[in-house]
C-alpha cells in the first residue's frame, strides 16, 4: 500500500501595493477551489502570499508594518481557512508575521502548515535572509529583507502531517544545502518552499535563463541528495514595475521535475506524490546511518565565512 498524496502548487501572479487583502485572499480561495476540483489534498502557496514583495522599498524599519499579520488566522484570512476546512484540503501559506515575543515586537518572514481540518500544525520562520539592511544606491532595486525581518528562530523542523514527514523552507533557504540536510536527518519526505525571486539581479547581470536554471538546480539537488519530494512555488509576474520569476515545480526524490508552471500568473500545478518513493535512496545511496562521516564535517558548523 502506497502513501500517495495529490499536491497542488498554487503559483500566484503579481500582487500590487493597491490590491486589498480581500482581493488577495479571494485569489487564494479561487486557487484552492481549483485544487479541490482536481482532487488535491495539500496546496502550497508562495512566500509573502498576502502582500506585494515590500522589501524592494526603503523605509523606516517599522514603516512596512501594514504588510504584516499579527495573528493567523485573522479576520482577513479566516475565509481561506474556512474554505480549506470545508473542502478538506490542507495548505502552506507564506506571510509577514509581526509578533510580541520576549517582551518586544519581532518581525519574521513566516510560513504555516495547515492540516485538512483547518488547524495549524507547523510554523517556520525564514533563516537565510538575503539582501541588505541599508539603502544601496548602486542597485536598480533594493532587497531589504535584512532590514524588515529578523533571522528566523524556529530551526528547520519536520512535522508528522499528511501521512508523512513534512518540512518547510522559504525562498533563499532553497539555495543552501544545509536547509535540506538538516531536514533530511529528520527523515523528511516532503519539503514545501515558497519564493519571491526577481528575474534580474541588478548587480550580477545574469541572464533569465541562468537564474531559472539555478532556481531549479537547487531544489532538484536538495530533493535527490535527501531523497525527498520538494514543492517550490513562486509569486511571479510584474509587481509594481518589478518582475518576479515563475517556474514553480514539483520535484520527485529522484531529482526529476514532475510538474512545472508555464506562466507567470495564477496557475495550479498538480502531481500525485508517492511518499514511499523516498525509501529507496534513503535505504541505499543516501543511507545516512551507513555512509555519512560527520567527524569530517566539523568545519561546516564551526565557522561561517571562508578561512
Catalytic residues, by residue number, are: 47, 126, 171
Do 34 and 42 meet the contact criterion of CB atoms below 8 Å apart?
no
Distance CA 307, CA 305 (A): 6
Amino acid at each position: 500500500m502506497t502513501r500517495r498524496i495529490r499536491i497542488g502548487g498554487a503559483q500566484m501572479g503579481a500582487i500590487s501595493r493597491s490590491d486589498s487583502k480581500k482581493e488577495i485572499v479571494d485569489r487564494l480561495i479561487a486557487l484552492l477551489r481549483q485544487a479541490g476540483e482536481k482532487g488535491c489534498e495539500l496546496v502550497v502557496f508562495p512566500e509573502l502570499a498576502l502582500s506585494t514583495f515590500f522589501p524592494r522599498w526603503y523605509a523606516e524599519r517599522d514603516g512596512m508594518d501594514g504588510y504584516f499579520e499579527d495573528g493567523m488566522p485573522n479576520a482577513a484570512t479566516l475565509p481561506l481557512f474556512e474554505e480549506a476546512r470545508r473542502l478538506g484540503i490542507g495548505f502552506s501559506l507564506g506571510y509577514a508575521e509581526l509578533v510580541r515575543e520576549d517582551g518586544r515586537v519581532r518581525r519574521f518572514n513566516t510560513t504555516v502548515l495547515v492540516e485538512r481540518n483547518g488547524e495549524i500544525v507547523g510554523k517556520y520562520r525564514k533563516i537565510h535572509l538575503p539582501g541588505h539592511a541599508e539603502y544601496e544606491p548602486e542597485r536598480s532595486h533594493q532587497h531589504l529583507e535584512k532590514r524588515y525581518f529578523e533571522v528566523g528562530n524556529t530551526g528547520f523542523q519536520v512535522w508528522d502531517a499528511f501521512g508523512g514527514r513534512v518540512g518547510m523552507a522559504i525562498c533563499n533557504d532553497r539555495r543552501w544545502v544545509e536547509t535540506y540536510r538538516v531536514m533530511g536527518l529528520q527523515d523528511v519526505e516532503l519539503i514545501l518552499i515558497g519564493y519571491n525571486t526577481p528575474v534580474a539581479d541588478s548587480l550580477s547581470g545574469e541572464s533569465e535563463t541562468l537564474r531559472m536554471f539555478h532556481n531549479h538546480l537547487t531544489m532538484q539537488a536538495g530533493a535527490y541528495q535527501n531523497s525527498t519530494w520538494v514543492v517550490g512555488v513562486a509569486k511571479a509576474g510584474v509587481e509594481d514595475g518589478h518582475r518576479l520569476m515563475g517556474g514553480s515545480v514539483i520535484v520527485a526524490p529522484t531529482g526529476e521535475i514532475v510538474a512545472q508552471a508555464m506562466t507567470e500568473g495564477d496557475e495550479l500545478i498538480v502531481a500525485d506524490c508517492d511518499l514511499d518513493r523516498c525509501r529507496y535512496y534513503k535505504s541505499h545511496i543516501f543511507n545516512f546511518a551507513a555512509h555519512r562521516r560527520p567527524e569530517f564535517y566539523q568545519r561546516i558548523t564551526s565557522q561561517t565565512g571562508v578561512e
